[in-house]
Amino acid sequence: MYHQNYKAKIILVLGFIFFFMGSHLNAQSTKKRALKRYERATYLYSQGMHEEALLFLDEAIDVDASFFEAYMLKSQIYEKSKDWKRAEQSVIKALDARPQKRQQWLESLVRVTFRSGNYNKAFEVLQEGDKFEDWSMKDQLLAQSVHYAREAFNDPTVIHPTVLDGNVNSEESEYYPALYASGDRMIFTREVEYPGKPFGQEDFYEAELVDDAWLMVRSLSEINTIRNEGAPSIRGDGRILVFTACAGVDGSYGNRVGVGSCDLFQSVYDVKSAQYDEASNLVALNSSGWESQPALSADGQSLFFVRAFRSKQTNEVVQDIYLTERNEFGDWRKAIRLPDIINSKGREENPFLHPDGESLFFASDGLPGMGGMDLFVSRKQSDGSWSVPENLGYPINTDGDENSLQVFGDGRKAIFATDREKTGNLDLWQFELPEAVSANAVALWTGAVFDSESKKPVDAKVRVLDADGAVLSAQRSNPDDGQFTLSFSSDENVIIQVEHPEFAFFSTMLIGGKDLDSFVSIALDRLQVGMTMTLRDVRFEKSSANLENSFQPELEQLAKTMLQSEIRIKIIGHTDSDGTLENNLKLSSLRAESVAHFLEDRGVNRSRMELKGLGAAVPIASNETDIGKALNRRTEIVVIN
């Protein structure tokens, strides 16, 4: 019975190998001893005993040095273990033994030569194929990659990667860093030994940057369990943590509740306890498949992640990047697959959105590259589309797999995981990105919102807008301490808005990020009868009562405040002293009227507004200077009941 099963498995495996080789002929060797060892090797291969199979293949080749099929099976085994150099050597020996098969197997030689990092040789083999009249590459991605890799290899980018200073790296593997937007703290994954487990245990740790050295702060004991936690991602201020947890071999999640094989979980940082709270399953995003490698935007409003599942049509595993965004209630919307310009026919993984909100870094093996998983960057366009991904180049990308990339706020310095010093032991390193593939430098706007009277923190909506009113980043200030952290491009003029329905709004413009205070305290005045709100950024046409046809940040906030409350207001227009008394009174009255029309257009009932123009009668600064005149040209909003 054993003999029959053994023979049946030999036939099945040989059939697979011959299909792989494009031939239905039996293995060809004139020496029976070689054939017997080859048959034994195919059986061992079918049982997953690859090392043992290689021993018998070597014995077969010792007997028959021209045994083509034995060399090709060796190549296949080496490919499975990603030992590309030995795979290349085996194919070369096979084709040397059977030169007449060279054209038939030329594409295989291109593939293994390319994957071994022998880019110039792969290009030569590809060119050799062009000499055959009836030959063409079936794998066009491979052909494109050979051309790209040869050019990149011969014109490498100059980078100087260095291992992180400090005590973060250890004899264990460290990987998947998650940087705070400030660039001085991070959470990372470490694989540690765990008693009673035959393999490593993944846990989270936190580190901070002190005098250019990364020092361990603590283990995230409130998150870590005896099961694996992986791929952490944090909001820019570190106060929201999204990570991956997977079911164990028993199919359970331990003390967590799961949906699929691997799920996304979220935990919120508790300011009072200085720990993350109990993680909850992001049920709306998880499926029966595999969700992992989350990437929160710096403001926490967007979440990229990787989803993998087996296609019902092809039975192949599909692995793509998805995006979800929060709705007005703070809940995650249905995740949408990123377009084909990002997601290829291969695998995409490890997304990271830089705090500039535009530069999406990710890894892919389905785009032209150096082999394996390469790192790419795509830019979000003004219309919401994504640019064609750009390969980060050689030697950032190599013939191996690259991932775990994070980029600091300056857009140039990057951190990644590599085992280039000791194979199998990943450590965290850093380097500077070439300018062509760098992100935009960002400024951080960090502060706290509080009640001007009680001094208690306020849970307010804080937003950064561009000049046209598009939201660049948004966040709610923390109800426990009022703090927020938002980022924007450091060379961009932005509008800052803070609002809460029970308080007068705050609005200001920042000219780039050069003179930005490290921490800003914003005191909000509670809405009450008799209070006055001074609007300094109502944009009128020059010497006219007509509003400019542009975004009006303060008026938009005023309209929102009135629609969220029942207050009545008096709109008072003021001018500087230029012009006659009569003209200034008329201009200020007409400008108050224009403001009222704006509010009406936004849905505010006219009966809730009174109007008055005071011209230059009530200055708040000297009209002898341009600065004073600018302060006097204002619109005041008085709450009357």
**Residue 163 is which amino acid?**
V
Task: Give the pLDDT score at 312.
Answer: 86
Check whether residue 451 and residue 548 sit in a common domain.
Answer: no
* Distance (Å, whole) CA 303 – CA 320: 14
Angle at 609 between CA 606 and CA 615, to 5 degrees: 125
As a whole-number percent, the residues of the chain with pLDDT over 90 amount to 78
Per-residue model confidence as pLDDT tens digits over 621-636 = 999 999 999 999 999 9
pLDDT digits (tens, 9 = 90+) for 396-429: 999 888 888 999 999 999 999 888 777 778 899 9
Angle at alpha carbon of residue 64, lines to 60 and 70, rounded to 5°: 50
In DSSP notation, 42-79 reads: HHHHHTT-HHHHHHHHHHHHHH-TT-HHHHHHHHHHHH
pLDDT score at 460? 96
Q: For the chain, how many structural domains are there in total?
A: 4
Is the domain of 25 the same as that of 124? yes
How much is the pLDDT for 16?
42
In this structure, is the dihedral angle defined by the CA atoms of residues 271, 276, 280 and 282, taken in order, positive or negative? positive
Q: Are residues 258 and 390 in the same domain?
A: yes
Final residue of a structural domain among 526, 548, 576: 526
Calpha distance 575→456 (Å, rounded):
36
Q: Are 265 and 294 in contact (CB under 8 A)?
A: no
The two beta strands, 185-192 and 201-210, are antiparallel
> For the residues 299-312, what does the mean pLDDT come to?
94
Residue 4 has pLDDT above 80, yes or no: no
Instruction: Indicate if 532 and 412 belong to the same structural domain.
Output: no
555 and 514 within one domain: no
Sign of CA dihedral 194, 198, 202, 206: positive
Both structure tokens of 234: 């944090």
Write the CATH number for 542: 3.30.1330.60
pLDDT at residue 381 greater than cutoff 80 = yes
Q: What integer pLDDT is reported at residue 196 of this predicted model?
A: 63
Are 519 and 389 in a shared domain?
no
Q: Specify whether 492 is located in the same domain as 547.
A: no
Question: Domain limits at 552?
Answer: 528-641
Of 513, 476, 417, 505, which is closest to residue 237 (Cα–Cα)?
A: 476
User: Which residues have CB under 8 Å from 417's CB, separation 6+?
Assistant: 173, 174, 175, 176, 177, 403, 404, 426, 427, 428, 429
DSSP codes of every residue in 193-260? --TT-SS-EEEEEEEEEETTEEEEEEE-TTT--SS-EEEEEE-TTS-EEEEEEE--TTS--TTS--SS
Torsion sign over Cα 205, 209, 213, 218? negative
The answer to whether 504 and 605 are in contact (CB under 8 A) is no
pLDDT in tens, 450-489: 999 999 999 999 999 998 999 999 999 999 999 999 988 8
Interval 248-273 mean pLDDT: 88
Residues 606, 483 share a domain? no
* 427 and 315 within one domain: yes
Q: Are residues 198 and 282 in the same domain?
A: yes
Strand 201-210 with 213-219, pairing: antiparallel
Output the average pLDDT for the chain: 91
- Residue 456's domain is classified under what CATH number? 2.60.40.10
Strand pairing report for 609-613 and 569-573:
parallel
Round to whole Å and give the CA distance between 399 and 115: 6
Q: Map 77-88 to HEC letters.
A: HHHHCCCHHHHH
Do 227 and 117 belong to one domain? no
In this predicted structure, the answer to whether residue 245 has a pLDDT above a threshold of 80 is yes
Residues 176 and 293 in one domain: yes
Domain boundary residue, one of 526, 543, 576: 526
Flag the least confident range among 152-161, 292-301, 512-521.
Answer: 512-521
From CA 606, how far away is CA 596, in angstroms rounded?
Answer: 7
405, 421, 437: which is the final residue of a domain?
A: 437
| Higher pLDDT pick, 130 / 323 | 323
Q: What is the 3-state secondary structure (H, E, C) of 616-630?
A: CCCCCCCCCCHHHHH
* Alpha-carbon distance values, 57 to 22, 71, 90, 113, 130 (Å): 20, 8, 11, 21, 33
Residue 488 makes CB contacts below 8 A (sequence gap 6+) with 356, 357, 442, 443, 445, 464, 472, 473, 494, 513
Q: What's residue 2's pLDDT?
A: 37
pTM for the full model? 0.88
* 24 pLDDT tier (thresholds 50, 70, 90): very low
Confidence of residue 528 (pLDDT cuts 50, 70, 90): very high
Q: Which CATH number goes with the domain that contains 49?
A: 1.25.40.10
Q: Report the C-alpha gap between 44 and 60 in whole angstroms.
A: 14
